[in-house]
Copies of this chain bind each other. A is one copy, B any other.
Amino acid sequence: MSLENFTKSMLPAIEDELMKAVALTKGPDMDQLNHMLAYHLGWEGEGAGAETRGKRIRPLLTLLTAAAAGGDWKCALPAAAAVELVHNFSLIHDDIQDNSPFRRGRPAVWMRWGIAQAINAGDALFALAYLSMSSLAETTSPLVAYQANRILQHTCLELTQGQYLDLSYEIRDDLDLKAYWAMVSGKTAALLGACTEIGALAAGAAGPIQACYLQFGRTLGLAFQAQDDLLGIWGNAAITGKSAESDLLSGKKSLPVLFGLSHGGAFARRWQSGGLTPEEIPALADQLEAEGARHYTQECADSLTEKALSDLDQAKAGGEAGLALKELVLALLHRQG
């Protein structure tokens, strides 16, 4: 069974599980809160559909891991919903923090309902994530639910640590690549590691196998972020749905930018003098590429992906789900947006 076939059965099940969790907010006078969450998750509002939902990569990764580790992926559905809820809580807060008006082609929650309600909507998703994870007690066992919640708790702390670094780095000039990886480790890799670790846990895999899957998820997270940073400057704007050069315009200290800054050439001089205009961006992206930043970033993404695939072998990912996991890894690396 190919990744596409797995996805076909898993995606509707993920949506159902997410809807079950979000339904917990229902009650007298709760329609608008419920609608905010349904809007953010892509089910309601203008243009609602597959495009506005995002790719659901984290829950897919959780379910595929559960299957590859020898379990029934359906038992891991509460965990899959939980990680997606955590991801979406962080997106709602991110959009406020970064002052980003749009998310998946539509106004962000804070643009539609204001900052106060958006902060609270994020908090509600955060609360729902733990409730969903606890439902693992019904599909697996209370002990597994307890352990999965422990993993999620540590992961959420790491997320806030990574976010703290990200926000601090915006105003710091002394950033190096070591700091970059520490930030990405918290912001992106921690949650992907939780997906694969909890997927394996829900499947009843032994401790050392869970550890291999954790390693796989974390490495994949780093690869994913490096690729994301590359697309943030040289991606296909039509596919990403945002200006291809937006990371240069927004001043984000992504991996290629940090490489360019450490190189100390023409790119670094122009970047450091500030006041970039949209018209300058294409030429500046070319300059950054000429200085080797694109090549460097692609090499990082490639070697991390290779490492992730070898972690997956270590985990003895089996059967068709194991192959589908590999397919997912390669699809993430070769995406254009």
Contact = CB atoms under 8 A, between A and B. Distances in A.
A145 interface: yes
B117 A115 contact: no
B115 A131 contact: no
Contact of A116 (B29, B97, B116, B161): B97
A167 interface: yes
Interface string A95-137: 0111000000000000000011101111110111011001001
Nearest to A168: B32
A24 B157 contact: yes
Interface of A: 24-25, 27-30, 32-33, 93, 96-98, 115-117, 119-124, 126-128, 130-131, 134, 137, 142-143, 145-146, 149-150, 153-154, 156-157, 159-161, 163-165, 167-168, 179, 182
A127 B156 contact: yes
B161 A33 contact: yes
Classify the secondary structure of A's interface with B: helix
A61 B145 CA distance: 28
Contact of A30 (B27, B116, B122, B161): B161
B96 A167 contact: no
Contacts of A159: 123, 127
A33 B169 CA distance: 13
Closest 5 CB pairs of A and B: A97-B116, A124-B160, A127-B156, A127-B157, A33-B164
A131 to B, nearest CB: 5
Most B CB within 10 A of own CB, among A134, A160, A165: A160
Contacts of A146: 137, 142, 145-146, 149
A97, A120, A128: residue with the most chain B Cβ atoms closer than 10 Å:
A120
Contacts of A30: 161, 164
Contacts of A121: 164
A24 to B, nearest CB: 6
A10 to B, nearest CB: 25
Given A115-B115, A130-B130, 6 more contacts: A25-B160, A27-B161, A33-B164, A120-B160, A127-B157, A146-B146
Given A30-B161, A149-B130, A179-B29, A97 B120 contact: yes
Contacts of A117: 164, 167-168
B131 A157 contact: yes
A149 B145 CA distance: 11
A207 B117 CA distance: 36
Contacts of A167: 116-117, 120
Contacts of A160: 25, 33, 120, 123-124, 127
A81 to B, nearest CB: 14
Nearest to A171: B114
A134 B153 contact: yes
Contacts of A120: 93, 97, 160, 163-164, 167
